[in-house]
Each structure stands twice: as structure tokens, then as C-alpha cells.
Structure 1
């Protein structure tokens, strides 16, 4: 009985040890998947023999000995561990530099904020000594600048190499910065790996004038430098400035002389902004009354503080008014919305500051309410036109829908129905006011149709959105491919994920080349992009921050290098170029 009991305990002990050993093997990963060397030399039969013949205590002792042997430091392991820690620090340095570049902050923020923040987290949260880890993460001003330049060069090289082999659309935007420098931003839109990408190609200053010829030569010189053929451009989008669209000396005319058949598109966001600027004399005066009132309050520090105090006393939701900036697309709508919400408080404040302005605002209250509602709708359309993966098909849908809404608004407001104008419905609207608004909406509708005639009248073949429709209505040239496609059941299942992803599949260009060529014209042609909106503002903001910081502390470095605006580099490949052991694919 005693022997059986001892035997059962030994077996149970063995099972516990084996379970523990198996768990440890899984933790050790690939290196120990088949067990340690000692356990490979022996076998489970020998191990069980120890349990039965010498007892479970000796088995425990042997297992502990083998575990300690595995953990015993060797020269190779010491060097490997040190190398791994250094490599991890380098990886962190690149990743943090990338975050600094994306944020547009000065390079010195790495040492000033990032490293102290990491040190605080290590000491406070993880309860680990931070000095040894921090010294392995180089983030000095010059180091961060070097990291950003390396990643920027890697990204630009990859992008330019890809553009050498594919067709793409380009969008140009020229702006004047606060220091009077003329900045030219170029964005490209292309298809890669079944996805549509929009990226900043370059940002360069115009040395002298901003004429169309100068803009073209900057673009041409860059393409020659990067070995990109101008003929790869299938469409170009610009604003309506004479330097861009001039018939004889505009940028478009110079480009068409070198690239025949290129499609020129007037940026739809810019056109929509021009439509929104079209106001009658009365509405224009009302808008300027709002701007004058905002400036009256915001231009004086004392007035600003008193107005904030009055808003708090009146329990207003907004305490600050927004300045109107003419070049900002959404500025009018945001300014009017913030102004009309505390309208009574503004009148109360102006009662002691400018009674004439107060009386004029009271007379034009309905105009201000109408403009607030209308520009809110304009902003909604503007934001839709800045959406991701926007193409001419989606653009036409957005513009057609807004045109229909304007027509409905004109009809409804003409018969006294103000449900589409929530602020105007709360104001007392007279017949003269209604007549003014109907006339404005009518002029707005006509101007909208005129400026967007090319897109609104664009005929979209039905097969673009639904290739499984009626074959007989399709162009004879592609009917054969359409007939074959309509019977492909595998592709039909994938079509349920969306028409755009359907046409971006890798096998479509090979199997249905005619279809694919015609379809890509609608996907890849340049449309408006939100990155254009952010490009100028980010560059300007970075410039102002850099100038202020240099004036204060005489520091070097700006937030984002001109060629690093769109950084999404694979840091592993960059480190590999500098002698590191890490390497991944760019995308």
C-alpha cells in the first residue's frame, strides 16, 4: 500500500513537472520548440525512470539544473542582448522622429518633451530605471533632422520611381506665405495595389514671379530631375487664376504644348467657393456688418474680455467670435454660425460701444440668419468634396444633389416655407426679404450650373457603376468584354463589395483591358483633395512656429522639410540603408 501511494504521488509529480515544462517551451518560442538540449539528449522514458527509481525530488533538481543552464549568460548572448537593445533604441528614435515630422513641431521637441515624457512613464508607471533606456534613444535636434531627411528621401525616391511607370493625375496649388514667399505645392493621384493614393509630390518656392511659364518650368525641371515623363500625366487640376488657366500664357497652355490630350480640370472646391462668394449688394452689406462687429470686439483686448464675461453671465454656449478669413473655404460659414448664436448678447454689448452698428445689425437680422443657414449648407458640400477616394463620379453626385437642393430651397422659401432654414424660421421675415432671398437663390442656381456645366452634363456609361447591366446599350467596342464579364460568377461575388474596389482588382486590367482603361479615366483623374487644404495651412503654421521659436531661443530646425510633408516611410528599410539589420517592404 505504501509503495502504491508513493508511486501515485511520483506519477502526479511527474505530470505536474511535464505540464510546467511544456508551458515553458511555448514561452521560449522557436528556439526551444523541441525542448532544451539536455532533454533532447535524454528522453521522456529516462525522465520518468528518475521519478520512479530516485524519486520526484531528484527530478525537480534535474529540471532546475537544466533551466539554470539555459539561462546562464554566455558571450554570444551578452553581445546579442546589447545589440538588440541598441537596435530597439534606434527603432524608437526613427519612430519618434516620424511623429515629430507629422506633428509639424520643432526638432528640439524630441529632447525637450519626448524623452522626458518617456522617462516619466518608465519611472512612474513601469517602475523601471530610465537612464539606461533613455541614453539609447538619440533625439537631438540634428539627429531628428537627419532621421526626417532620410525617411523623406526614402519616400520621395519610392514615389518618383513608381510614377515613372504609371499614369497619374496632378494638382497644383500656388500660395503666398506670410513672409511673401510664393509656394508651389504639387499633389499626385495614382492607383497602386488596388488602392487610390493621393500624395504630396513636392513643395517648392517660386524664386521670382508666379507666372504660368515659371510654374511650368518648376514642374518640368522636377520631372527631369526625377526622370518622370510628362506624358504620364493624364489630367491636371488647378484653381481659376489667370496664371494657371490663361489661354496663351497660363500653366495649362504650356503643359498642353508638351502633353497633348491632357485633361485640365478647374478644382471643384475652388469653383464652389466662387459660387458662394456671389452675393447681392444687400446681402454683401449684411455680411460686412457681421465682419465689422466681429472686428469691433476682437480687435481690442479689453472688449474681448468684457464680451467673454457678458457671454458667461448670459449663459451663452459660445464665448469667442471667429474672425473671417477670405482665403479660408469654411471661414464664412463658421464665422456666421458663431456670430448668430449669441446674437442678443452681441447687440447688448454693442449698445455701449457702437449704437449705430447695433441698429444696423438689428435691421439686417433676417439677412444674417439667411446667410448663416446658407453658408452652413455650403460648408457641408465643401467637406463632402474633400472626402477620401473622391472621383468624378462621386463629385457629380454631390454637385447634382446640391443643385437639386438649391432648386427646392428656392421654391419652398418663395411660398413661405422656411423649414430648410432653421435660423431664418425663428426671425420675422417680410415679403421684401423673401423676394431678396428668392432672387439670390435663383442667381445662385444659374451661377452653379454655369461653373459646373462640364461635370453636371458629363455622361456616365451605366456599365461603370454596374457592369452586369444591359449589354446592348454599351459601346460596340467593349460589348464583347462586357458579355464575358457578365458571365463571370467569381467577379460577380466580388462586385458586391463596391464598384470602385471591383475595378481596382489586379486581374481586371489583364482580362478586360478595354474596360479597365476606360474605367480608370474616371477613378484616377484629379479631383479636389483635403490634403490640398491642409498643405498650405500646415506649411504656413510650421513656418510661423519656426520663426517665433527662432526669435525667442535662436534654435535650428523646422517642423517638416519641404520634401517630407507626406512622410509614411518604412523606417526599417531606411535603417537598413544605414547598415542596420532590419528590412521590410515599403508598403
Structure 2
């Protein structure tokens, strides 16, 4: 700047400092710079505190904890640790992180909104997705409609939580469709994008005229619907000959007599310990929980001698049956067969299960049923370890054979088209020359023929998961890849909905029965992470006071 102008500015604007020496001006400059630095540091601390507050809220939602835990436990604990390990200044810095229950609630709502927006963008970009949907009642008696979605995201297929909506009145198919359709409209989604739909097979879902599926088909006639394989397998397992049904009911009554009485349960555990049993308690039977029946029967059979001893001084229902070797042989068979059914059920559960692999597992079990029938006719019961060791098992062979035949017929009834899965062998192994492609279009068959001799893709096939392989092939072989991906998008079960209901039950308990659960559920369950820096950017940061 021009010296003469600087001098004139000093004399006219700051006459009191005209005669001040150079040191004064240097001190003024340094003070001004320090004030600017402190202001910048304050802004940085506020921004960091806000970002940390969002990360804390995400952690609380992921762990399904009450919002108050940040202020009552997490932050005090962090301050204690920081104070001891790093000193009081570090503890004071942590005090600046906003952590009140209302703040945590707002943070979770913000992240839920961002996740929902981001997922909608991904679904729109994908252009096709598959849906699994189910309805259940929470602890407050409110009906909750829950949906999960599977879609193409870049180079792989992803699945995640979509929504949880409270049903205000009836849970009819029309109401379920209205709620789902409204959500689609709010997020710019259309039914033509939905290529598959998996439900639990309830009447509200499957009704021919007013059912949810019927309403969806009116919007998209080409949608592929599927009755949850887990529910179908559970329906198959319920069918038994009257002799075995009677044993099952009596066994359940014995178990429930013990488990419903705390004193009896403690006394029985004490007796088991004194007798050197591997386990010291029975398992309570329930019709709702998966895998309950097999574990209940196995534990009862294992502790039958202890229960017989215990029943001498207690009015255990049907206690005389425990001394009946033929009854025990039937109980052993039930424990064995439900153990096998449990194993199948567990294999069908889990994330990223597709319709092809699930159907293969059902076919495999049906094949084992035939094998067991043949073995039983030849007098072998090696496939049923508890049964083969039971003294009177040979006399009950006809009952076992009848049940195996019933299971076989029921599997054929509930899974009538499992053999059709062979038409899709080319998806699971496109390089196998014998994989059938007869039902494909000519364009798809041509691409399949070219793909089978593509050595570079053959190397990729051994390195990549199935969905990533077909997505990687889409640019060179678009028709056949599109067909394969559409099949892999279908949900075979409503497992994710069941998992979400378990989470909902844990979060919305007696202490939090008024919780509006959708936002917390979305942050807890979504595989789409919140974009915390994007959320923080337009917001004004304030430290906690």
C-alpha cells in the first residue's frame, strides 16, 4: 500500500495512536492474529463435536440402546477414561460433544432421512429390485408392516432394510398395498421396477381379489411372487401321524410343567447336577421361535431318566410314559427327525441367500427322505442316532416309515416345482456344457454359447461371487446377464423381516413402548451407511454447554 495513504488513514481514523512506537503496532498485530486463530479453533471444535455427536448417535442406534445412554453412561465413562489417561483438558474437550437424549433422537432422525434418500437414489439407479414384506404386532399392540429390499448396487447385489410402517387400522391386503404404494410414490419408485416379491403366505397377502399380491399384480403383471421357503418348511414339519402327534403333545406338557414353575425348575436342575447330567435344564417349547421343537425334544430325551426320577415326588404330566420304552423310542425318533429339519431350517436362513441355492437345499433334503425310506425298509436306522440306540425302536419302524412318507408327500405339495430349478443351472455354472438353455431366447442362447468358451471370464468365475460374476459380464453379454441377475434378485425367504422383528421387539420393549421405531430401525439395520459429513455440512455447529 502507498505509505502516504497509510499515514493519512492513521491520522484521520486513529489520531490517538499517531505517536505510538513500532512495538505497540507489532503487539496489536500479534493480538489480532491470536484472536483470529482462537475463532478458527472454536469453529473447528464445534464442527468436530457435531460430527462426533452423529457418530455417537449412530453407535447407539446400531446397538439398539435407549437415547439417554449417551448422557447417562457413555459420555461420563469417556470423560473418566480421558481424564485418567490423558488429563483434565481431554475430559473437558469431550464435554463439548452434544449428547442429550433429544439431540441423539434428532441425530438418528437426520441419519435415517439421509439413508432413506440415499437408498432411494440407489434403487432408482438400479432400475430393478426385489421386495420381501411381512406384518407383525409389537408390544404396544400396534401392527407393524416391515419391508426389506434387494437391488443391484455397482458391481454386486445388496440387500437392506426399506421401511417399517405402523398400520393404523386393519391389516388387510388392500391396506398393506396402500401403505407400500404410498411409500413408493414418496420415494419416486414404481411397481414396474419390482421384479420379485416374497411374503409369508398369509391370507391378507395371497387373497385372489383383495390380497396384497393381487393388488401388486394389477400394477405389474410380470412380477414373480414367492411364498417364504422357511414358512413352507415349517408347515411341512407340522404334519405327523396321530401316534407321533400324541407323543409330541405329551412331551411338550412335561417340559412346560417344569419350565412354568420356577421352584420345580430349580429343583430339577439340582437333581440333574447330582445325577451328573451334561445339561441341567429343559428348553421351553414355543410354536413361534425357529428350531424350538427339535431342541426341546432332544433335551427331553437326554434328561428322560432324570425327569422320571424327579416325577416320583412331583405331579409331572404323563410321567408313566417315561418308563415306557416304546414311547421313548418314538420320542427319540421325533428328536432325530426334527434335528434334521432344524439343520435344513438353519441352512435356509441367513443373508444373501438366493432362490437357486435355497431350492437346491430343499431338493437335497427330499433326496435324503427317499434314502432314509430305503434304509428303513432294509432295517437300518443309522441316520437316526438316538432312535437306533433305543431298545424298542425296531417295533416302531412302521410309524417311522409312515411319517417319512408323509413328509415326502408334504414336501412335494409345498414345493411342487423344485425340479424346474434345473432350467437355471446355467446361472450357477455357465461353463458346464450340459447345463440346459433350451428355455432361453435365441439371443440369450447365442450369448451363453460365446460365454462358455470365454477363458478370461472362466478365470473370473472361480474368483468372484455369483452376483459379481454376472454383473461383470453384463457389458459383453447383456441379455444373458440381465436374465441371471433378475433370478438372483429374488428373495427365497422373509428371513430379514423376521430378523428385523426381533430387533424391533428388543428396541420397543416395556420401557420404550411409545418409541417411534422406524428411524432407529433404519439406522440399526441398514447396510447403507449415513453420510455424516454431508449431513453436517449445511448445519450450524454448537458445542455442548
TM-score by length of 1: 0.79
| Alignment partners' CA distance in 1, 2:269 and 2:121 | 55
Tell me whether 1:452 sits opposite 2:418 in the alignment.
no
CA contact (8 A) 2:208 2:214 kept: yes
Q: CA deviation at 1:157?
A: 0.9
Could you say what secondary structure the match of 1:480 adopts?
helix
The answer to which structure, 1 or 2, has the higher relative contact order (CA under 8 A, 6+ apart) is 2
Instruction: Go from structure 1 to structure 2 and tell me whether the alpha carbon gap of 1:89 and 1:310 turns closer, same or farther (over 3 Å shift).
Output: farther
1:445 deviation in Å? 0.9
Match of 1:398 in 2: 361
| Structure 1 position 154 matched with structure 2 position 120 | no
Q: What is the DSSP-based 3-state SS (H/G/I as helix, E as strand, rest coil) of the residue aligned with 2:422?
A: coil
Q: CA RMSD in A?
A: 2.7
Q: Which residue pairs with 2:203 in the alignment?
A: 242
1:464 aligns with 2:427: yes
Q: Does structure 2 conserve the Cα–Cα contact (< 8 Å) formed by 1:216 and 1:255?
A: yes
Hey, what's the Cα distance between the residues in 2 that align with 1:404 and 1:570? Answer: 49
Does residue 511 in structure 1 map to residue 476 in structure 2?
yes
One of 503, 508, 529 as aligned partner of 1:543: 508
Distance between the aligned counterparts of 1:84 and 1:75, measured in 2?
14
Shift in CA distance, 414/498, structure 1 to aligned 2, threshold 3 Å: farther
Structure 2: give runs of 5+ residues left out of the alignment.
Answer: 1-32
Q: What's the CA shift for 1:164?
A: 2.7
Which of residues 219, 222, 230 in structure 2 aligns to 1:261? 222
User: Which 5+ residue runs of structure 1 have no aligned equivalent?
Assistant: 1-72, 551-555, 581-587
Alignment counterpart, residue 198 of structure 1, candidates 159, 162, 178: 159
Aligned pairs for 1:313-462 within 5 A? 313-354=274-315, 357-363=318-324, 364-462=327-425
For residues 435 and 287 of structure 2, the distance between their equivalents in structure 1, rounded to whole angstroms, comes to 51
Instruction: Give the stretch that moved more between structures: 431-440 or 320-329.
Output: 320-329
Say if 1:80 and 1:530 are closer, same or farther in 2 by CA, change over 3 A: farther
Q: Does 1:522 align with 2:487?
A: yes
Q: Secondary structure at the match of 2:114?
A: helix
Query: How many angstroms does 1:471 deviate by?
Result: 9.2
Deviation at 1:147, TM superposition (A): 1.0
Distance 1:264 1:462, change over 3 A: closer
* Equivalence for 1:55: none
Is the Cα contact below 8 Å between 1:472 and 1:479 reproduced in 2?
no
Would you say the 8 A contact 1:105–1:558 is kept in 2? no
* DSSP-derived class of the 2:62 partner: helix
Pairing 1:497–2:460 present: no
Q: Secondary structure at the match of 1:210?
A: coil
How far, CA to CA, are the matches of 2:277 and 2:47 in structure 1? 55
Give the one of 146, 149, 155 matched to 1:185.
146
Whether the aligned pair in 2 keeps the contact of 1:108 and 1:141 (CA below 8 Å) is: yes
2:498 maps to 1:533: yes
Q: Structure 1 206/128 Cα, relative in aligned 2: closer, same or farther at 3 Å?
A: same
How far 1:151 moved relative to its partner? 0.7
Q: How much has 1:270 moved relative to structure 2? A: 0.8
**Cα distance per residue 1:226-274 (max 9 Å; x no partner):** 2211111111111121111122221111111111111111111110111
| 1:140 matches 2:100 | yes
Q: Pick closer, same or farther for the CA change 1:504–1:136 going to 2, 3 Å.
A: farther
Partners of 2:533 and 2:117 lie apart in 1 by: 15
Determine helix, strand or coil for the equivalent of 1:318: coil
1:185 shift after superposition: 0.8
Preserved CA contact (<8 Å) 1:449 1:456: no
Report the secondary structure of 2:471's partner residue. coil
Match of 1:63 in 2: none
Work out whether 1:163 is the aligned partner of 2:123: yes
Moved more, 133-142 or 463-472: 463-472
| Residues 563 and 479 (structure 1), Cα distance of their counterparts in 2 relative to 1, 3 Å cut | closer
Cα distance, 1:382 vs structure 2: 1.3
Aligned length: 502
